[in-house]
Structure 1
Amino acid sequence: MIRQNYLADLEMSTYLAQNPITDADVQADYNREITSLSPQGILSEYKVSDIAVASEVDAQAALARIKKGEPCDKVAKSVFLAPNKVQGGAVGWI
């Protein structure tokens, strides 16, 4: 298995040395992917947040606060159990 992995790494290194990837190649591939994701030019992105609590009762209470209009990040900062509590439960962009 070690020999096979070594040979695969060697082959990949040799190929990349003979066929370097340029910034233009990366940009072209990126543009192709964006085009394939959204033929009409509309691409949706979402900033995702979550709230992790200890029990269903805590989850229902947090949901009730949000439904009353309290900002999700404020609720997350007060009840969230995960490390991203400080960021209001922010997960990132998807």
Structure 2
Amino acid sequence: MIKPTPNPPANEATSPYESLDSKKLHEAAERALNHHFAPPPGDKPKPRKGNLFAVSPDIDTEALLANASEDLLSISAIAANLADDVDGARRSLA
């Protein structure tokens, strides 16, 4: 099979990041990542007091109670499914 164009010259000294366009592309990608994933400037993280679980003070009580209720319902469903697989005294325990 005959190729209509010759092979490009092999020059390993040329880096794909040395052209002006690829540098601009790299800088634009860095700006986009920083915009979406970097914390806002001036927004310092609050120091931790060493508690294992901490609740944010800006979450309302109703949302916390709804979340706890859903967690307890999930645990209850898991226990009921496990109790179906056990017989006797262990079933009562489950």
- TM-score scaled by structure 1? 0.29
Q: Which has the larger radius of gyration?
A: 2
Greater percentage in strand? 1
Which structure has more relative contact order (CA 8 Å, sep 6+)? It is 1
Greater percentage in helix? 1
